[in-house]
Structure 1
């Protein structure tokens, strides 16, 4: 059965890979992104709306489009996000405000906007793109970790809250994969951002591979969708072998301190 899907941040990266994956299955897709006009990357057989997740006006327009065009929605993918990183005494409050407004409050706005529609339908699936950083919290990434941990907490909360209306909620938690996310870096901690760029551009998995796993997780209505071996190992190490996890994170903090001292 064809599903009606809205994806934010759908013109590039994981959002675009998800759009193509849904289309390949025969689903109808509406892509939202920052460009005023339809980006060339967006497939011809998808609809497009400008959707800045910081703008409630844009969210309201997307809801109106969905109601008027499709009469409802089956899957909302809150995917839009930016990369950030920095030590607590280097990264600015402005950088914190930017990442929280986009990566966390952008998701909150999407959930708030579409929950009334899903309740009317008594059906729907909210899929929130978090990160492995929302589950395991390495040093030097406090703003990103906090935003993504917030997305995980929001998703778990809404899963229980909206379950009585048969609304399902999933949090996607991938580790690093090859995407253009590093292009959104613009913080003050250049050293940390250089590390992030290397981790993203040298990752083994592609956005398309992650998207394929995500779709399987959505089909199975998983609450947390882990997409790779590294993520699963880190997640379960933290849950089941906390001392080993703490030792790894402590050593990472020591390496970062040495790097900062030499810099």
Structure 2
């Protein structure tokens, strides 16, 4: 039975991961940005991944109640989207601070714990957007690619200390992540929301495959077929991949122009 901390654990994929970890008999500390959580399936800790003091408190909690930690799941994140000349620099700063630096802070906080134990497992939630880079998603693609790069770096750097690292790269699935869209490029935000809400996959579907990947200690966990096919196409059929991305860009530009004309 492992001791597990999940960030962003109050909803979406985080909540699904918590539920399945608990069902498998693990001890789980659910954390999120809210001050309270109404669930009764284990302890809850407020943790804003932007705040180093909250990370220090999480380390202290795990030490006091469990004497350490076995699995850290850096899952908290937000959705963004926008054309490079429309999305603002403030939006870039926000998504970098949460989606990338939030993961960095978590890894920095618990690596000393894992090194002292000579054991531990870091699981970082990235996205298929960290492996493939669709148009109109510059900020999101960039931070998720950064999470993949960080994870690969740590998989090598920390292996001598008995520390395993994995990175999760799903494509769109049904989640409340769409609620976090906020920004200047409303046309792209609307498109992103539609893709999330129309997906046939649920957070539970993704979590089931993720936990199987964790059990096998896979570095790269791609938990759904569209993400796997896209990743393989980029690697082995690059001209086909490029044509598809160009089609996506053309359709997105057309929708954005129509929305702009309709609004004004």
The TM-score range, normalised by the shorter chain, is over 0.9
Q: Is the 8 A contact 2:155 2:165 kept in 1?
A: yes
Residue number in structure 2 paired with 1:207 = 203
1:26-175 matches, within 5 Å, as: 26-37=25-36, 39-40=37-38, 42=39, 44-175=40-171
Residue 196 of structure 1: aligned partner: 192
**C-alpha displacement of 1:187:** 0.8
Please give the TM-score of this superposition, normalised by the length of structure 1: 0.97
Following the alignment from structure 2 to structure 1, what is the Cα–Cα distance between the partners of residues 100 and 180? Answer: 16
How far residue 113 of structure 1 moved from its aligned partner, in angstroms, is: 0.3
Where structure 2 has 5 or more consecutive residues not aligned to the other structure, the ranges are: none
1:11 equivalent in alignment to 2:10: yes
* Cα distance, 1:257 vs structure 2: 2.6
Change (3 A) 1:243 1:29: same
| Matched-pair contact (CA < 8 Å) for 2:91–2:183 | yes
Cα pair 2:188 2:256 within 8 Å, conserved: no
Unmatched tracts of structure 1, length 5 or more = none
Instruction: Write out per-residue CA displacement over residues 54-107 of structure 1, whole angstroms, 9 at most, x where no aligned residue.
Output: 000000000000011000100000000001100001000000000000000000
Which of 228, 233, 249 pairs up with 1:232? 228
Tell me how far 1:36 sits from its aligned partner: 1.3
- Give TM-score, length-normalised by structure 2: 0.96
Distance in 1 between residues matched to 2:205 and 2:117, nearest whole Å: 32
- SS for the counterpart of 1:146 is helix
Partner Cα distance (1:250, 1:260) in 2: 15
How far is 1:260 from its partner? 3.3
Residue 177 (structure 1) aligned with residue 181 (structure 2): no
